[in-house]
């Protein structure tokens, strides 16, 4: 057994270990060591995840039998190109956010540092667990772990955040219940919890027409739809995103809802197969139209917001629409899942950068409203620069990440013959341009209205441990965009996409 094959379980186990080490070290020794333990652990996890991705691309899928028990009886961890890709994104964003959190949380909640980092580490544990597992009940357990950690982290600033967290808790619990009901229905029919095993039994047992199986599928869609804030089920998202601490907002928007999307993709395509979606349960048209509505609705409501974090939250609703449009079109274009998976990485970079920058304005000057941003471009030049890089990427300036997503999505729409969605993409781009231009205008252009004081502005930047994450994400918005387009051997992003599509039998024009 190769040592790399142990890495999927090590990623989860050392994270769990670290969470409790932080607890003991923080309470018995020193509060300051919490951050360092968390940072080093996530760094090690990130390195492990890169080895996993490399192994998956060069050798093949990793299957790991926990305790040596064979799959239908024991828990199996399966890591293929899709898992490994999500795992790397997730750990990269966690690493960036934990670096940012050091000064931010020392400033905001100095008394709760220990519990904050314990919960953060548990959140990372849960997210990693969801991505590496190949057992559907194990996946549910990890979804609960990261959700519970996320509820507590959102509430960590107290006051109004408690209410937002409670809303999320109620909605998230309902979503998890639906997911569990789906698992129960499937288990009653197939008698198995291993994803691959279930898919084999469904196929060979000719169970696709069974009402129970179809009800289970509906439950999965609704449950994960709530967790990932799919348009009509997104009501918890704006409050939770705007009142959470900055780096938790970035994690929530950048990766937590995307991991739920991953769970949905995994259930739709690995447990239920493409055949089921094509012939027995044609839901892709519905997903496409819901996604289109989310793109318009999220953007329109984002225009109506005066609070920056709230505006970004509604923008997340719109961006989930982009991802789901990619999922909905996956069977009718030659790109397969590429646009959806592409946007998972792109959205993590853009939204991560913007939420961290929004947190920086709150940290430094306690500015929440967009109208108060007058002259901020001179006071905090680097933070605003990276915010604007991310905003331009969101609008879709070539060669940024947003441009690549929109290009691939539009071509996929043309291939599928769904021209109306091209119009929707174009229209939502106009709306995005409108609401980000307003922010840029206040930051850079409307300086004069403050009068003579604006002329001598001292540069007053955030500390470097917060600035580096924001800048790195802002610059990556454009670097990754170029990497998507040229596909160098060192960063074989397109090869990952091809591997995923080949695995699910997608990407072939019907």
* Contact present, 104 and 247 (Cβ < 8 Å): yes
Query: What residues have CB less than 8 Å from 365, skipping those under 6 apart?
Result: 372, 376, 379
Q: Which two tokens stand for residue 477?
A: 């918005």
User: Which C-beta is closer to other proteins: that of 6 or that of 446?
Assistant: 6
User: Which C-beta is closer to other proteins: that of 23 or that of 180?
Assistant: 23
Least Å from the CB of residue 8 to other proteins: 9
Least Å from the CB of residue 369 to other proteins: 33
Least Å from the CB of residue 9 to other proteins: 4
User: Which C-beta is closer to other proteins: that of 132 or that of 330?
Assistant: 132
Q: If DSSP codes are grouped into helix, strand and coil, which group holds residue 435?
A: helix
User: Which C-beta is closer to other proteins: that of 62 or that of 404?
Assistant: 62
Cis status, amide bond into 399, omega within 30 of 0: yes
User: Which C-beta is closer to other proteins: that of 7 or that of 92?
Assistant: 7
Q: What is the DSSP letter of 501?
A: H
Q: Which two tokens stand for residue 211?
A: 């009402």
Least Å from the CB of residue 84 to other proteins: 18
Q: What is the DSSP string of 219-258?
A: HHHHHHHHHTT-GGG-TTHHHHHHHS-HHHHHHIIIIIHH
User: Which C-beta is closer to other proteins: that of 66 or that of 423?
Assistant: 66
Least Å from the CB of residue 360 to other proteins: 34
Least Å from the CB of residue 69 to other proteins: 9
Around Cβ 366, how many Cβ atoms within 10 Å? Answer: 8
Q: Which two tokens stand for residue 192?
A: 């198995």
In the complex, the residues that contact other proteins under the rule CB under 8 A are: 1-3, 6, 9-10, 13, 16-17, 20-21, 23-24, 27-28, 64-68
Least Å from the CB of residue 132 to other proteins: 12
User: Which C-beta is closer to other proteins: that of 8 or that of 359?
Assistant: 8
State how far Cα 397 lies from the chain centre: 22
Q: What is the DSSP letter of 461?
A: P
* Contact present, 70 and 197 (Cβ < 8 Å): no
User: Which C-beta is closer to other proteins: that of 23 or that of 44?
Assistant: 23
Least Å from the CB of residue 465 to other proteins: 28
Q: What is the DSSP string of 14-69?
A: HHHHHHHHHHHIIIII-TTHHHHHHHHHHHHHHHHHHHHHHHHHHT--EEEEGGG-
User: Which C-beta is closer to other proteins: that of 16 or that of 466?
Assistant: 16
Least Å from the CB of residue 16 to other proteins: 6
CA-wise closest residue to 197 among 80, 72, 79? 72
CA-wise closest residue to 328 among 470, 193, 225, 450? 225
CA angle 245, 248, 249 (to 5 degrees): 85
């Amino acid at each position: 057994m190769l040592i790399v094959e142990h890495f999927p379980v090590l990623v989860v186990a050392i994270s769990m270990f670290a969470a409790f080490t932080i607890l003991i070290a923080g309470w018995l020794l020193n509060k300051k060591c919490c951050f360092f333990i968390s940072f080093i652990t996530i760094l090690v996890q990130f390195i492990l995840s890169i080895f996993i991705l490399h192994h998956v691309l060069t050798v093949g899928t990793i299957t790991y039998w926990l305790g040596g028990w064979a799959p239908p009886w024991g828990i199996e961890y399966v890591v293929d190109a899709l898992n490994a890709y999500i795992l790397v994104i997730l750990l990269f964003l966690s690493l960036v956010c934990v670096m940012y959190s050091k000064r931010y949380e020392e400033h905001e909640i100095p008394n709760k540092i220990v519990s904050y980092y314990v919960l953060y580490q548990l959140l990372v544990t849960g997210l990693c667990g969801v991505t590496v597992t190949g057992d559907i009940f194990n996946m549910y357990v990890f979804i609960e772990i990261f959700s519970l950690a996320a509820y507590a982290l959102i509430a960590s600033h107290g006051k109004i955040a408690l209410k937002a967290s409670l809303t999320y808790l109620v909605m998230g619990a309902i979503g998890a219940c639906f997911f569990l009901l789906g698992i129960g229905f499937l288990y009653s029919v197939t008698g198995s919890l291993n994803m691959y095993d279930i898919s084999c039994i469904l196929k060979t047992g000719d169970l696709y027409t069974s009402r129970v199986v179809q009800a289970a599928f509906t439950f999965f869609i609704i449950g994960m739809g709530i967790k990932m804030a799919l348009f009509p089920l997104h009501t918890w998202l704006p409050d939770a995103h705007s009142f959470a601490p900055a780096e938790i907002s970035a994690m929530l928007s950048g990766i937590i809802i995307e991991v739920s999307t991953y769970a949905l993709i995994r259930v739709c395509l690995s447990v239920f197969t493409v055949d089921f979606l094509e012939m027995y349960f044609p839901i892709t048209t519905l997903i496409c139209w819901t996604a289109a509505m989310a793109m318009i609705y999220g953007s329109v409501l984002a225009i109506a917001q005066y609070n920056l974090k709230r505006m970004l939250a509604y923008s997340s609703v719109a961006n989930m629409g982009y991802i789901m449009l990619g999922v909905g079109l996956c069977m009718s274009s030659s790109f397969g899942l590429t646009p959806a998976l592409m946007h998972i990485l792109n959205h993590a970079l853009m939204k991560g950068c913007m939420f961290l920058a929004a947190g920086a304005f709150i940290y430094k000057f306690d500015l929440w409203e967009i109208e108060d941003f007058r002259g901020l471009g001179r006071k905090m030049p680097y933070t605003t620069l990276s915010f604007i890089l991310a905003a331009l990427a969101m609008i879709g300036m070539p060669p940024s990440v947003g441009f690549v997503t929109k290009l691939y999505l539009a071509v996929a729409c043309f291939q599928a013959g769904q021209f109306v969605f091209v119009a929707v993409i174009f229209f939502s781009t106009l709306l995005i341009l409108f609401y980000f231009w307003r922010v840029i205008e206040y930051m850079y252009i409307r300086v004069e209205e403050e009068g003579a004081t604006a002329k001598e502005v001292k540069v007053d930047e955030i500390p470097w441990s917060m600035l580096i994450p924001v800048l790195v994400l802002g610059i990556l918005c454009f670097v990754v965009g170029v990497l998507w387009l040229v596909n160098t051997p060192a960063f074989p992003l397109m090869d990952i996409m091809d591997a995923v599509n080949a695995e699910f039998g997608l990407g072939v024009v019907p």
